[in-house]
Chain A
Amino acid sequence: MTRPILLKAEGLTKHFGGRPRLFGSDRPVLRAVDGVDLEVRQGETLGIVGESGCGKSTMGRLFVRLLDATGGKVEFDGVDLLSLKGRALTAVRRDLGMVFQDPWASLDGRMTVRDIIAEPLDIHRVAVGAERRRRVTELLEVVGLPASAADKHPHQFSGGQRQRIGIARALSLKPRFVVLDEAVSALDVSVQAQILQLLGDLQAEFGLTFLFISHNLAVVRNVADRVAVMYLGRIVESGPTQALFETPRHPYTQALLSAIPVPDPERPRRRVVLKGDVPSALAPPAGCRFHTRCPLAQDICRQTPPVVTVGADHTAACHFAIPPLAVS
């Protein structure tokens, strides 16, 4: 049973800089997101993984209209998301939510928890007075915090609790689509597990659709239904979680998976160690962006690789979408 598509991106692009300046030379263009095609189904969790500079956070922000895209199209529930303005944009914001990475910077320390959580309600004039208090209490309960938390200030809470407050805020307008941008990365391992459990419960209860952005593949593997791997602004591989992790088809995905230290000292690791560092997004390599570090690079890689279907709903952008390296 395939669920209906909630969000569909085609050729999504975001370039920074490049505008001609009055004085001085033109700024170089940072191709943060460069032609992304993506589909998110209702009720699922799509994991977006990649290392720093790959553009995953930028892409998340494009989906909630924190940033304006340079090009491409995004269809959200039948509506052209990128072209909305004014009242129409404000209206669609009720369906969008976002949870941020830093539990300390994402809450305004001068406000009470109640005001923080209720801010979206205030902006859209959804509830006032007693009704507002009631909804805040309800949201606190849903994220596992006591009602007494409402009158306190963020500095009185721990990192994990602050993330819960951030989640409550993101859910206050009952959105359909929530972007989680490294939402557990700044938390301790045991606290991460608590928040992930909470997110799972919330998704099941409210039928939420999550875009889960993370650099931590182990976490993504256990929370996402499908995963997309990004490198330098492009998606290099995407597919169902199990398929992608068991039979990764793109050399970058393979290298990424093999590089992660596993908490098992007895497991022999066949490691693909990449040479060099990630190139700058200001001057990405021509053709396949990964070819400068790829153990399989050939001349043909200077041309943009096609997107090859390698399995059910599983694609990889590589000239040699190949079987995974054998583990000895």
Chain B
Amino acid sequence: MNTEGVLAGPAAEAARPRLTQRHPMLHKLLRHRLFVTGAVILAIVLLATLAADLIAPYSPLKNDFHYRLGAPNGAHLMGTDNFGRDVLSRVLYGGRTSLEIGLMVVLASTFCGTLIGVSAGYFARLDNPVMRLMDALMAFPGVLLAIALASVLGPSVVDVVIALTVTYAPRTARIVRAAVLVVRRMEYIDAARVAGAGHLRIILRHVLPNSLGPLIVQMTFIFAVSILAEAVLSFIGVGPPPPTPSWGNIIADGRSYIPTAPWISLFPGLIIAVTVLGVNLMGDGLRDVLDPRLKLEGR
């Protein structure tokens, strides 16, 4: 007996407020504890970095050789680095770079991955060649591939984004392709064809909207992973070049001073961990809500 379906029936529907009536998923999402926790964490970090101009106590570039390697105190909540720059201010501004990289990688890899995934999933003859290419790219461990590409392309924000996009787009492509394969077999696609719809219409109006679920979840994970990847790249030395701060290169700068001034690497590391946690929690929440739930047996 499909009690889930019955509980969501017309009478219960009428009881809920209008916005969530149209979007039952939104309603579930906002009640999901993990999602909300993650969203709050991310919101705080985001707002802090966006408001860096307002809340950073110092300029991130200002050297002050009197206070080199100073431990955290009242004036410098996160201490100072080897150039006497305030770590807190650098972390706040660095967040902009790192989050920006994360966002651009998500957008670029989602766009490319979706294009590739839809082509492979929808057009059977493209499936094999395209996905084997993706497999080849995925055969390299992600971060290593990113490092290799970044070294070749050179250190700059744009090149880091390109390197990470090439690394993560195949994973997105695979997920989108899987969703497309399922949707392609649904009878409503046949119905659209019988009515005379062409491929483009079917893809844009039916296939894509119904493949969004796993894609959205994947996007959050790519966001998290690219922030981490950027840190790794900076650590190696192929990340965004100085003096622009990014979380990764702050950690890299502080590498040599860990025994004497651990706070330089510690704080950006903590912030990365917290941000990635927040994003992952959101991803988990999204996946719980968007994945088809197990229903009780039908008739």
Contacts and interface: CB of A to CB of B under 8 A. Distances in A.
Interface stretch (A89-97, A225-233, A241-249): A89-97
5 contacts: A100-B191, A108-B186, A108-B188, A156-B9, A173-B195
B194 A105 contact: no
B194 A110 contact: no
Interface in A66-106: 66, 89-90, 93-94, 96-98, 100-102, 105-106
Interface in A200-253: none
Contact of A105 (B8, B13, B186, B299): B186
A173 B197 CA distance: 14
A143 interface: no
A141 B194 CA distance: 23
Nearest to A100: B187
A109 B24 CA distance: 13
A105 B10 contact: no
Interface in B169-223: 186-188, 190-197, 201, 205-206, 209-210
Contact of B196 (A107, A108, A123, A166): A123
A98 B191 contact: yes
Determine which residue in B188, B206, B209, B210 has the highest number of CB atoms from chain A within 10 A of its CB, and name it.
B188
Interface string A108-151: 11110000100110011000000000000000000000000000
Interface in A18-62: 61
A188 interface: yes
Given A100-B191, A105-B186, A110 B209 contact: yes
B191 A166 contact: yes
A123 B201 CA distance: 9
A93 B206 CA distance: 20
Interface of B: 5, 8-10, 13, 186-188, 190-197, 201, 205-206, 209-210, 299
Given A93-B196, A188-B299, A155 B188 contact: no
Contacts of A90: 196
For chain A, which range describes its interface: under 10, 10 to 19, 20 to 34, or 35 or more residues? 20 to 34
A64 interface: yes
A161 to B, nearest CB: 11
A256 to B, nearest CB: 25
Determine which residue in A156, A173, A188 has the highest number of CB atoms from chain B within 10 A of its CB, and name it.
A156
B144 to A, nearest CB: 30
A124 B196 CA distance: 8
A200 B10 CA distance: 29
A151 to B, nearest CB: 10
Given A110-B210, A120-B196, 9 more contacts: A65-B194, A94-B196, A98-B194, A106-B187, A106-B191, A108-B206, A111-B205, A156-B10, A166-B191
B115 to A, nearest CB: 21
A66 B195 contact: no
B196 A66 contact: no
Given A110-B210, A155-B8, A156-B13, A105 B187 contact: yes
Given A110-B209, A188-B299, A119 B190 contact: no
A109 B213 CA distance: 13
A100 B192 CA distance: 12
Nearest to B24: A155
A271 to B, nearest CB: 27
